[in-house]
Amino acid sequence: MNTSSSKVIVALSGGVDSAVAALLLLRQGHAVEGLFMHNWEDDEQGYCTSAQDWQDARAVAAELGIVLHRVDLSAQYRERVFANFLAEYRAGRTPNPDVLCNREIKFGDCLAHARRLGAQWLATGHYARILQAADGPQLLKGLDPQKDQSYFLHAVRRADFANVLMPVGELHKPQVRELAREAGLPVFAKRDSTGICFIGERPFREFLQQYIAPQPGPIETPEGRRLGEHHGLPYYTLGQRGGIGIGGQQGLDESPWYVAAKDAHRNALIVVQDTLHPLLMSRSLHTQAVNWLATAPQDTAQLGVKLRYRQQDQPARVTPLGGGGVRVEPLQPQRAVTPGQSAVFYDADRCLGGGIIEQIGL
């Protein structure tokens, strides 16, 4: 599709990927402007990097000679992403706010703002690809398997991809950094951001305790042996190894402990020492309503599924349920399947959509 005569707004985050996206679009002859999103209030501890990211985005825009706009979406973020994040943790699930941020903020409010600025296209630095097909846009994996971000994009409304460009999805990360270095972009060596999008790299339990009060309870083995006391079920996730707070136990070996289950009724954290303990292995799961980016299967279908980011696609039987959810039966038992995370479906390189994991079966 020819976009060279159209205005393109690039969501400039201050990182190297979005900077190279803007560079590539300029080289292709597009009319490019930048848009920086401010999604979280700066904090005194310095974990939020928004201020530095804004300065980096300004430096990139200056080097490229493009206009840079700024929009404050922090109120929308708190209302539609962070509130859900807290509600999920309080309900005993482990949410992925990056998924909701993409749907509600980046390809919701940011896309709408780009249109208000007169743009026909929004471009991002995601490692994924958009194919504008005859029956509608298709979401494909990025070519770099180590950086593919289609998993985090599965919840975006299919129609919102109709005017989206993702130039770096065709590249591998080393190529992106080299392009930035050759072009003299000041962020060519900036390290990738990690951690949850709005939290940054901070102690997670300390952050969560600001919003969810500690509610201590027993740490137990499946047989009911008490090993210690936890700080509150929301602070732990299934499969977690570190940070449980129990050392060597008399009469037990020195093998590491893993979170295997949460007993909300008794406020008990169940832990095991076998990394493949039956309590950690699931043979089936149910999802909430699936956001399909392709025609939804009407009967049981065999698809690939990812139950966590960077997992290899797992072959599974997927059966529609009432309410738009599906039952997923992986051909091999899956470890530490976590309610609140996403089950994302694939047919080879094409992302077909996904849904939040609601319930697991052993």
CB 203 within 8 A of CB 235: no
pLDDT per residue as tens digits for the range 2-14: 555 589 999 999 9
User: What CA–CA distance (Å, rounded) separates 73 from 106?
Assistant: 10
Residue 203: the pLDDT is 73
Provide the token pair at 173.
């990360």
Provide the token pair at 254.
């020195």
**What's the chain's average pLDDT?**
92
pLDDT band (50, 70, 90) for residue 66: very high
Three-class DSSP category at 308: coil
pLDDT per residue as tens digits for the range 199-243: 666 677 888 898 999 999 999 999 999 999 999 999 999 999 988
pLDDT band (50, 70, 90) for residue 322: confident
pLDDT per residue as tens digits for the range 248-258: 676 677 888 99
pLDDT per residue as tens digits for the range 125-154: 999 999 999 999 999 999 999 999 999 999
Pick the catalytic residue from 48, 110, 197, 351. 197
CA distances (Å), origin 250, targets 223, 258, 271, 274 = 16, 18, 16, 17
The domains of the chain, with CATH numbers, are: 7-182 (3.40.50.620), 214-278 (2.30.30.280), 283-361 (2.40.30.10)
Residue 197: the pLDDT is 58
Q: Are strands 334-335 and 291-292 parallel, antiparallel or unpaired?
A: unpaired
pLDDT per residue as tens digits for the range 168-184: 999 999 999 999 999 99
User: What CA–CA distance (Å, rounded) separates 284 from 327?
Assistant: 7
User: Can 351 be counted among the known catalytic residues?
Assistant: no
User: Can 110 be counted among the known catalytic residues?
Assistant: no
Residue 195: the pLDDT is 60
Phi, psi (rounded to 5 degrees) for 283: -105, -10
Instruction: Say if residue 198's pLDDT is above 60.
Output: no
Residue 6: the pLDDT is 83
pTM here? 0.93
Pick the catalytic residue from 48, 101, 110, 351. 101
Residue 253: the pLDDT is 79
CA distances (Å), origin 98, targets 121, 170, 222, 307, 359 = 22, 22, 33, 15, 21
Q: Give the residue-averaged pLDDT of 318-332.
A: 96
Q: Is the alpha carbon torsion for 183, 187, 190, 194 positive or negative?
A: negative
pLDDT per residue as tens digits for the range 35-48: 999 987 755 555 56
The continuous run of DSSP H or E covering 18 comes out as helix 16-27
The continuous run of DSSP H or E covering 56 comes out as helix 50-64
> Residue 169 CB: number of other CB atoms within 10 A?
25
Helix runs in 97-203, H state only: 97-101, 110-116, 150-153, 173-182
